[in-house]
Amino acid sequence: MSVLSVRDLQVSYKTQAGPIPAVRGVSLDIDPGEVLGLAGESGCGKSTVVNAILRLLPAGTTVSGEVLLNGEDVLSMKPGRLRAVRWTGASVVFQGAMHAMNPVQRIGDQLAEAIVLHGQAGEKEALVRVGNLLEQVGMPPRRLRDYPHELSGGQKQRVMIAMALACSPSLVIADEPTTALDVMVQAQVLTLLNKLQRELGLAMLFITHDLSVLVEVCDRLAIMYAGRIVEEGPSTPVFETPAHPYTEALAAAFPAIGDQRFRRAPSGLGGDPPQPESVPEGCSFHPRCPLAFDECPTIVPELYEAGEARRAACLLVPKREAVAP
Amino acid sequence: MYRKNTMGMIGLITLILFVAVAVFAPLIAPREGLEATCPCNGTPFSPPSWGFPFGTDNFGRSVFTLTVWGTRISLLVGLLATAISMLIGSVIGIVAGYYGRWPESVLMRLTDWFLVIPFLPLAIVLASVLGRSLTVIIFVIGVTTWPSTARIIRAQVLSVKTRPYVERSRALGSSSWHLTTRHILPNVAPLIFANTILTVAIAILSEATLAFLGLGDPLSISWGTILQFAFGAGAAGAGQWWWLIPPGLAIVMVVLAFTLCGFALDEILNPKLRER
CA distance B175 to chain A (A): 8
Give the chain A residue nearest B171 (alpha carbons).
A86
pLDDT greater than 50 at residue B172:
yes
User: Three-class SS string for A170-194?
Assistant: CEEEEECCCCCCCHHHHHHHHHHHH
pLDDT greater than 70 at residue B166:
yes
CA distance B181 to chain A (A): 12
- The CATH 3.40.50.300 portion of chain A extends over 4-89+167-265
Q: Give pLDDT, residue B55.
A: 73
Q: Does the beta-carbon distance from A103 to B178 stay under 8 Å?
A: no
Q: Does the beta-carbon distance from B164 to A87 stay under 8 Å?
A: no
Q: Give pLDDT, residue A240.
A: 83
Which parts of chain A sit beneath pLDDT 70? Answer: 97, 255-268, 321-325
Name the residue facing A54 among B171, B182, B187 (closest C-beta): B171
Q: Does the beta-carbon distance from A86 to B182 stay under 8 Å?
A: no
The number of angstroms, rounded, from the C-alpha of A238 to the middle of its chain's C-alpha atoms is 17
The number of angstroms, rounded, from the C-alpha of A156 to the middle of its chain's C-alpha atoms is 19
> What gap in Å lies between CA A23 and CA B243, rounded to an integer?
77
Name the residue facing A101 among B165, B175, B182 (closest C-beta): B165
> What gap in Å lies between CA B221 and CA A238, rounded to an integer?
85
Q: Give pLDDT, residue A265.
A: 59
DSSP letter (8 states) at residue A279: P
Name the residue facing A99 among B164, B171, B173 (closest C-beta): B164
DSSP letter (8 states) at residue A27: E
What pTM value is reported for the model?
0.73
The number of angstroms, rounded, from the C-alpha of A26 to the middle of its chain's C-alpha atoms is 13
Which residues of B are less than 8 Å from A108 in CB distance? none
Strands A228-234 and A311-312, bridge-based pairing: antiparallel
Please state the φ and ψ torsions of residue B216, each to the nearest 5 degrees. -80, 180
Digit-coded pLDDT (tens) for B175-218: 888 888 888 898 888 888 888 888 888 888 888 888 888 777 77
Percent of chain B predicted with pLDDT > 90: 12
Which residues of A are less than 8 Å from B187 in CB distance? 102-104
Q: Does the beta-carbon distance from B186 to A102 stay under 8 Å?
A: yes
Q: Give pLDDT, residue B92.
A: 93
Residues of B with CB under 8 A from a CB of A: 101, 163-165, 167-175, 178, 182-183, 186-187, 189
CA distance B171 to chain A (A): 6
CA-to-CA dists, residue A276 to A56, A130, A138, A217, angstroms: 20, 42, 41, 29
CATH architecture, domain defined by A4-89+167-265:
3-Layer(aba) Sandwich (3.40)
Give the chain A residue nearest B183 (alpha carbons).
A102
CA distance B101 to chain A (A): 10
CA distance B186 to chain A (A): 7
CA-to-CA dists, residue B267 to A292, B240, B273, angstroms: 60, 41, 5
Length of chain A: 325
CA distance B167 to chain A (A): 8
A243 and A301 in contact (C-beta within 8 Å)? no
> What gap in Å lies between CA B80 and CA B203, rounded to an integer?
9
Beta-bridged to residue A62, according to DSSP, are A12
Name the residue facing B173 among A101, A103, A114 (closest C-beta): A114
> What gap in Å lies between CA A177 and CA A95, rounded to an integer?
5
Q: Indicate the pLDDT class of residue B89, thresholds 50, 70 and 90.
A: very high
Give the chain A residue nearest B185 (alpha carbons).
A104
For residue B1, give the 3-state DSSP assignment.
Answer: coil
**CATH fold of the domain at B72-270:** MetI-like fold (1.10.3720)
Q: Give pLDDT, residue B276.
A: 45
Q: A5-15 burial, b for 16+ CB within 10 Å, e for fewer?
A: bbeebbbbbee
Name the residue facing A99 among B163, B173, B182 (closest C-beta): B163
> What gap in Å lies between CA A48 and CA B17, rounded to an integer?
59
Q: Does the beta-carbon distance from B187 to A113 stay under 8 Å?
A: no
CA dihedral B138, B141, B145, B147 (to 10 degrees): 80
Q: Give pLDDT, residue B96.
A: 92
Cβ atoms < 10 Å from Cβ of A207: 25
Q: Give pLDDT, residue A263.
A: 58
Highest mean pLDDT among A202-206, B165-169, B272-276 belongs to A202-206
Nearest to A4 by CA among A304, A220, A227, A305: A220
Name the residue facing B173 among A59, A87, A100 (closest C-beta): A87
